[in-house]
Structure 1
Amino acid sequence: MSRQTSRDTAPEVAVRKLLHASGYRYRVNVRVPDMPRRTIDIVFPRVKVAVFLDGCFWHGCPQHATQPKANAAWWREKLDRNMARDRETTEHLADLGWIVLRFWEHEASGTVADQVAAAVHRQKTDGAV
């Protein structure tokens, strides 16, 4: 598991490139406030928009998640904890007034970037930042 990429994955980089090319500026891999060992993939801090690009296997994608056959009980518990942690992180950020956007790694980068840009734009106009 130590070889698994946890940051700067191909889907993250693709979305970031599209956002940057469209003129959006953001931070990457920012710690979640008051939650140790948790980071947000793409952050727009001034408008409080947090973007997560979740891997299908590690975060339990309903379309593409697979169940390992070896040591199945351990893996099921591990993946269930990951999904519970995701829900907890989303709820925590929402309670702090953040807009939380979660996408699966298999979603088209262009579509994801468009949805993120729309959310950031909405926050800028609604919040007059």
Structure 2
Amino acid sequence: MDTLSRQQRHDNMAAIKGRDTKPEMIVRKYLWRCGFRYRVNSPRLPGHPDIVLRKYRTCIFVNGCFWHGHEGCRYYVVPKTHTDFWIKKVARNKERDRREQQQLARMGWHCITVWECELKKNKRERTLSSLAYTLNRIYLKDRTVTYQSPEEETGLCMAAEPEVED
């Protein structure tokens, strides 16, 4: 049984924002401080990603654990009222997220999902530094092309092995 009246519940649900949420702002401020430049909620891409870094061909989705059904997270709990509705709604959200990320991947975009629970104070710094590391690795991987002759490819030794002389 819901403890709020229908009007109170309606007002609560209507107040929930779809953009510029606190978790989004945490990620955006961190990226800006680190020198990453981005666009917000790009209407040209499937799913209107929360953050788009064109230089890195990367889209970042900052997902709320409840709304996107973060499995195994303590913040994703199915409400006790209207259970069938909420299970179906979250399942639709998850399917939509999967479909949009597949479309972006086919278009050549990298997709990163940052969960709300990973931005809580005790995990925030590790999550954000991991995000910056991943973006730098994506940039280096996409920009770095090494050419090796077939002789070089077959003649490589592991760093821990001494070279064998004939």
The TM tier, using the shorter chain, reads 0.7 to 0.9
Q: Give how far 1:20 is off.
A: 0.9
Instruction: Say whether residues 1:57 and 2:66 are aligned partners.
Output: yes
SS in 1 for 2:133: helix
Whole-Å separation in 2 of the counterparts to 1:110 and 1:30? 26
TM-score by length of 2: 0.69
Higher relative contact order (CA 8 A, sep 6+): 1
Match of 1:93 among 65, 87, 104: 104
Q: Give how far 1:52 is off.
A: 0.7
TM-score by length of 1: 0.87
Contact kept in structure 2, 1:32 and 1:40, CA below 8 Å? no
Instruction: Tell me the residue number matched to 2:8.
Output: none
Distance 1:102 1:76, change over 3 A: same
Instruction: Tell me the residue number matched to 2:3.
Output: none
Unaligned runs of at least 5 residues, structure 2: 1-12, 145-166
Whole-Å separation in 1 of the counterparts to 2:44 and 2:81? 33
Which has the greater radius of gyration? 2
Letter in 2 for 1:20: W
Whole-Å separation in 2 of the counterparts to 1:97 and 1:112? 24
What number of residue pairs does the alignment pair up? 126
> Would you identify which runs of 4 or more consecutive aligned residues in structure 1 move more than 6 Å?
none
Instruction: Tell me the residue number matched to 2:150.
Output: none
Identity of aligned residues (%): 35
